Structure 1
Amino acid sequence: MNAPSADRIKIASGFWTSLRGIGVEPLDVARQARLPLTVINEPFVTTAQYYSIWQAFSEQVGDTATGIVKLATAYKTAQYPPAALATFHARDYRDALNRMARYKQMCPPENLQIREEGEQCSIELECQHSEKPGPPVLIGITLAYLLELGRRGTGRHLTARSVEFIHPMGDVQALEGYFGCRVRTRADRNRLTLNRDDLDRPFVSYNEELLEILTPALERTLDERQSQLTMSDKVKWILSRCLTRGRIDIQTVASELGMSDRTLQRRLTDEGASFKQLLTQTRHEQALAYLADPSLEIKEVAFLVGYEDQNSFYRAFRSWEGETPANWRVAQENWRSSLVTE
C-alpha cells in the first residue's frame, strides 16, 4: 500500500454518491469547478482540483453552511475510506478522535491538533500545505464530520461546546442548529470544542477484529508517507501553522521539531536550503493562495501570511511577482474567466 504524494489526494468513493443523495449533480460540480467531466471517475486529484471541487459544491448548494449540514448528515458509513472506517469502529470517542488525528496525516490537505484540558477537548484544524489553504466548506465539513463521528459511534445526539471558523460560513444559524452550540466566524483559527466527558463514551460500532486488520496496514502507510518528507517539508508545514501567531524564528520551529536550532540549520543546509529561504517561500506561496480567494481583503492576506503592516506585504509581493497584490488578483481572475470548460 503506497501513500499518496503531497499533491495527490484520493477522493472517497462515496463522495459523488453523497452529492447525488442531497440533490447535487456531480457533472454540474465538475463544470462549476472548470474541470474535465471525467474527474468524477478519477480516484486521485491534485490539491488544487480537490479545492476547486469543494468550492464548486458550495456554489452549487448556494450557501456554505447549508452544504456542510446536508453533506455531513447524508454520508453513509459504508462508504467511508479505510482510515475513516477505523475511527468509526474504535473503542470509544476518544480513541476515534486520536485515530482520526493520526491517520489524517496521510490524507491531505488538513491536519488535526487535539488538546484536552479541564472539562473540554479542543480540536484545531490546520492546513498541511501552506500554499493551498482550503475553502470554507471543506473546513466546515471536516469539523462537522468529527461531531458526526461521535454521534454515529455512540448512538447519541452529542453537541459541541463551541465552534470557531476563520472565514464567513453563510447561514450561521443552520450551523448552530447542527452543532448545538454557538458558532463564531472570523475567529483566529478553525476549532471544534467538545465536552471532555463525551470522549469516554463507548462506541456501539466498536469492532476489535476489524481494527486488528485495518490498523497494521494504516500504520505502514503512515510510516511510508512520513519517511518521504524532507526536513524542508517539515519546516514549511510548521511555518504555515504559525505565521498568524506573531513573530516566528528558527528557534521556535526547532523546538517543535524536538531539536536545537543549530541542528535544524545544519539539516537544512544539507538539503541546500535555509530557514530564511523557506520562510519567504512559505509566505509567497500562501499569499498567492489567499489572494485567489476574492472574499479576503488584501489587508487580511497580509496578516495571514505574517506581516504586521500592509506596506511591508506590498513590498514583499512586488519582489516576488513584480506587481501589486491587487493587480495580480485581477490578472488571475481574467485568466480564469478565459478558460473554456469542455
Structure 2
Amino acid sequence: MPTYSLAPGWQRVLSALDLDPVQVLRRADLPADLFEGPRKRIGAEDFFALWEAADALHRGPDLAVAAASGVSADHFDIPVLAGLAARDLAQAAERINTYKRLMYPVTLDVRGDAGLRIALRPRGPFTPPAVLERFELLFWVAFARLATGARVGPVRVTVPEPPEDQGAVIEFLDGVPLTKGHRAEVVFSPYDVHRPFVTTSHAAVWQFLEPELDRRLYALEASTTWTERTQAVLLACLPAGRRSLAEVAAELGTSPRTLQRRLGSERTSFQEVLAQTRERMARAYLQRSALSYAEIAFLIGYEELTSFHRSLRQWTGETPRGLRSGTGVPV
C-alpha cells in the first residue's frame, strides 16, 4: 500500500502546540519511537490517526487554527520550499501539488478559473479528518500571507463539516466564515493569486533542490510494484463497485493474464491482493467512521452482509462489533 514519509518537524510542531508527542502517538495507537531515528513511512490511516489524536488532546479552541498560525519559513518541508521560491500563488500551488505526493496522503485539485481554487483530493477512499481538512485550507491562507508579505484573505473557504464554534477560524480569516460544501476548498481572488512573492530569495536554493526532487519522483514511480499498483487501483475501484480482475487490469492498462503473471512474480495473486485491500478498508471504516456495517460491506465490494461478516472473521478473528468497540465510534 502507498506509504508516506513523516516530515521531520512533527515533534517540534506538536511541542509548539503544547502537545506531548508521546501521548499523541499513544492515542493514535502508533509506535512510541515513530519520530525517532531514521524517518519512517506510514499509511494514510496512520497519518490521519495522528491528526485525530492531536485534535483530541489539544486544549485550545481549534487545532487547525493553532497549527496554521504557527506557519513560518523555519518549519517548512521541501515541497513548501518549492512554493516559496515561486513567483506567485498560482505557480506555488502547482509546484507544491507536484511534490506533495512524495510525503502526503492528500493531494490537490488546482484550478485557475476566476482566481485560484485549491481543493483537497484524498489519495484513496479514506476521508481526512475534519481538523486536517481545515488546516490544509487555512495553511494556504497563512502561506499566501507569508509569501506575499500582505494580509491576504480568501474569497471563500468550504468544508464538508464546519465546526460548531467558528470563532477562532473567523478571527484567523479576518471575518470570513467557513461554508458547508461537498468538498474542502479554498478560493482566492485573481488579484491575490498574482501578487508577487517576496520570498524569491529561496529561488537559488530551489534551483539546487529541483533536480533531486525530480529524481525522487521518478524513482518513486519506477519502484512501485505491481502489487502496490493493484492495491491503489482497488482502493478507488471497490467503492465504485468494480472489483473484477478484468476491470482492475483495464485500469492498469494491461491484460488480466499479464496482471496475474506480474503479481505471481511478486509471490502473490489478484485474489490475495483483493482480500488484503478489503481487510485494510474494513478496518479503517470500522475504526474511523460511523458507517453502518451494511454500508461498509457495500463499499468494499460485498453484496451480502453475511459474506462480509464471514470474511472479516477469517481475516481478523473478530466481528465488526469487536473491531469497532473501544474506538469511540458508535456501534
For the aligned pair, the TM-score class normalised by the smaller chain equals 0.7 to 0.9
Gaps of 5+ in 2: none
What is the TM-score normalised by the length of structure 1?
0.74
Matches within 5 A, 1:17-28: 17-28=12-23
Task: Please identify which structure carries the higher helix content.
Answer: 1
Which residue of 1 is the match for residue 221 of structure 2?
226
* In structure 2, distance between residues paired with 1:300 and 1:148: 41
**Residue of structure 2 aligned with 1:316, choices 308, 312, 320:** 308
SS of 1:162's partner is strand
With normalisation by structure 2, the TM-score equals: 0.76
Tell me if the contact between 1:243 and 1:306 (Cα under 8 Å) persists in the aligned partners. Answer: yes
Partner residue in 2 for 1:9: 5
The alpha-carbon distance between structure 1 residues 329 and 148, as it changes in their structure 2 partners (threshold 3 A), is same
> Aligned equivalents of 1:279 and 1:147: distance in 2?
40
In the alignment, the residues of structure 2 paired with residue 160 and residue 182 of structure 1 have an alpha-carbon distance, to the nearest angstrom, of 11
Q: Which amino acid aligns with 1:103?
A: Y
Out of 156, 167, 171, which is 1:161 matched to?
A: 156
Distance 1:133 1:230, change over 3 A: farther
Helix, strand or coil: the match of 2:120?
strand
When residues 55 and 44 of structure 1 are mapped into structure 2, their CA distance, relative to the original with a 3 A threshold, is: farther
Contact persistence 2:287–2:323 (CA under 8 A)? no
CA distance in 2, matches of 1:313, 1:144: 40
Partner of residue 278, structure 2? 283
Equivalent in the alignment of 1:87: 83
Provide the C-alpha distance between the structure 2 equivalents of 1:254 and 1:276, rounded to a whole number of angstroms: 13
The CA deviation string for residues 24-54 of structure 1, in whole angstroms up to 9 with x for no partner, is 3334434544556544444524426544432
Matched letter for residue 230 of structure 1: T
Shift of 1:200: 2.9
SS in 2 for 1:123: strand
Residues 260-307 of structure 1, C-alpha deviations (whole Å, 9 max, x = no match): xx54763454223776765554333112112112x5232585288356
- Aligned pairs for 1:1-342 (under 5 A) are 6-7=2-3, 9-13=5-9, 15-33=10-28, 38-47=33-42, 50-62=47-59, 66-117=62-113, 121-128=117-124, 134-156=128-150, 157-165=152-160, 169=163, 171-172=165-166, 174-178=168-172, 180-184=176-180, 187=182, 190-195=183-188, 197=190, 198-206=192-200, 207-241=202-236, 243-244=238-239, 246-248=240-242, 259=253, 262-263=254-255, 266-272=258-264, 278=273, 281-293=276-288, 295-298=289-292, 302=296, 305=299, 312-313=304-305, 315-322=307-314, 324-330=319-325, 333=327
Q: Secondary structure at the match of 2:104?
A: coil
Q: How far apart, CA to CA, are the structure 2 residues paired with 1:243 and 1:176?
A: 38
CA gap 1:313/1:19 in 2 versus in 1, 3 angstroms: same
The count of aligned residue pairs is: 314
* Alpha-carbon distance between aligned partners in 2 of 1:313 and 1:216, rounded to the nearest angstrom: 51
SS for the counterpart of 1:44 is coil
Quickly say closer, same or farther: Cα 1:313–1:104, change in 2 above 3 A.
Answer: farther
For 1:254 and 1:115, locate their aligned partners in 2 and report how far apart those are by CA, in whole Å: 30
Instruction: Tell whether the 8 Å contact from 1:33 to 1:53 is kept in structure 2 after alignment.
Output: yes
SS at match of 2:187: strand
Q: Distance in 1 between matches of 2:310 and 2:251?
A: 32
- Measure the CA separation in 2 of the matches of 1:143 and 1:203: 19
Structure 1: segments with no counterpart, 5+ residues: 335-342
Shifted more, 234-243 versus 210-219: the winner is 234-243
Residues 282-291 or 210-219, more deviating: 282-291
Deviations along 1:229-281, one digit per CA (max 9) or x if unpaired, are 1244234324434555x444678767765x4xx54763454223776765554
Pairwise CA RMSD of aligned residues? Answer: 3.7
State the one-letter code of the partner of 2:187.
Answer: L
Helix, strand or coil at the partner of 1:201: coil
CA distance in 1, matches of 2:90, 2:250: 27
CA distance in structure 2 between the aligned counterparts of 1:256 and 1:113, rounded to whole angstroms: 21
- Residue pair 2:235, 2:277 contacting (<8 A) in 1 also: yes
Letter in 2 for 1:195: F
Contact 1:236/1:282 (8 A) holds in 2: yes
| CA distance in structure 1 between the partners assigned to 2:312 and 2:221 by the alignment | 31
Q: Distance in 1 between matches of 2:16 and 2:298?
A: 36
CA distance in 2, matches of 1:299, 1:168: 26
Greater Cα offset, 230-239 or 202-211? 230-239
CA contact (8 A) 1:90 1:211 kept: no
Q: Give the match's secondary structure for 1:318.
A: helix
Give the % identical residues: 23
Relative to structure 1, the CA distance from residue 11 to residue 196 in structure 2 (aligned partners, 3 Å threshold; closer, same or farther) is same
| CA displacement 1:150-195 (0-9 Å, x = unmatched) | 2322233231523223x6756445445545343327x4xx421423
